[in-house]
Amino acid sequence: MTTDVHATSFGLPHRKLAMWVFIGSECMFFGSLIATYLAYEDRSLVGPTPAEILNIPLTSVSTFVLLMSSLAMVLFLDGVQRNARTTAVAWNAAVIGLGGLFLAGQAYEFRHFYHEGLTLQQNLFGATFFVLTGFHGAHVTVGVIWMTALLVLQVLGRLGPERSLDVEVAGLYWHFVDVVWIVIFTLVYLIQ
């Protein structure tokens, strides 16, 4: 009656299932932040208002950059799975570069807003906007650090196809962070 202890009930690797479970939880985390942003929209007593200060063209470019980083991510994973080492390294570097570019855009935006008078303390828009996009940015930062760690492993020749699950799980996290931005871009920037 001995059974293969390595099988799992749903045929899924633990880490992949766990990352999706975590993503389910994160839906509520960002959902609560977004709910507050939307509940408090139009309740600021003083300006600046979103219409006055949000820069759609710039943010569109940021959105595009993050979307392309997701493309780079799947190509990175594909490269690892096919054992195409140089390709995989290049695409991982692209993820890191594009993610970094997104963060740079955020940093620029935040600084610019501060100079225009939109601070955390200024009004409800400032508070809800910076906390929401700030935590998103923190998630992107964690992602960039994670990808960098994988890059180091790649360069050391320790990220072969047998470890593609590690890349896939990192990729799920990365894509989720991108998807959250899709939602934020629509609800915060485009629908004012």
List the one residue out of 106, 114, 139, 125 whose CA is nearest residue 36: 125
**Which one of 133, 164, 170, 188 is in contact with another protein (CB under 8 A)?**
164
Q: How far is the CB of 53 from another protein (least distance, A)?
A: 15
45-64 positions binding another protein, by CB under 8 A:
45, 56-57, 60, 63-64
Tokens matching residue 76: 């990175």
68-127 positions binding another protein, by CB under 8 A:
68, 70-71, 73-75, 78, 120-121, 123-124, 126-127
132-151 positions binding another protein, by CB under 8 A:
135, 149
**Cβ closest to another protein, residue 33 vs residue 103:** 33
Sign of the torsion angle spanned by Cα atoms 172, 175, 181, 183: negative
List the one residue out of 68, 80, 74 whose CA is nearest residue 151: 80
Q: How far is the CB of 50 from another protein (least distance, A)?
A: 12
**Cβ closest to another protein, residue 41 vs residue 106:** 41
**Which one of 21, 107, 138, 155 is in contact with another protein (CB under 8 A)?**
21
Dihedral pair phi/psi, residue 75, rounded to 5°: -75, -35
List the one residue out of 148, 126, 141 whose CA is nearest residue 177: 141
Q: How far is the CB of 91 from another protein (least distance, A)?
A: 11
Please report which helix (H) or strand (E) contains residue 156, including its range. none
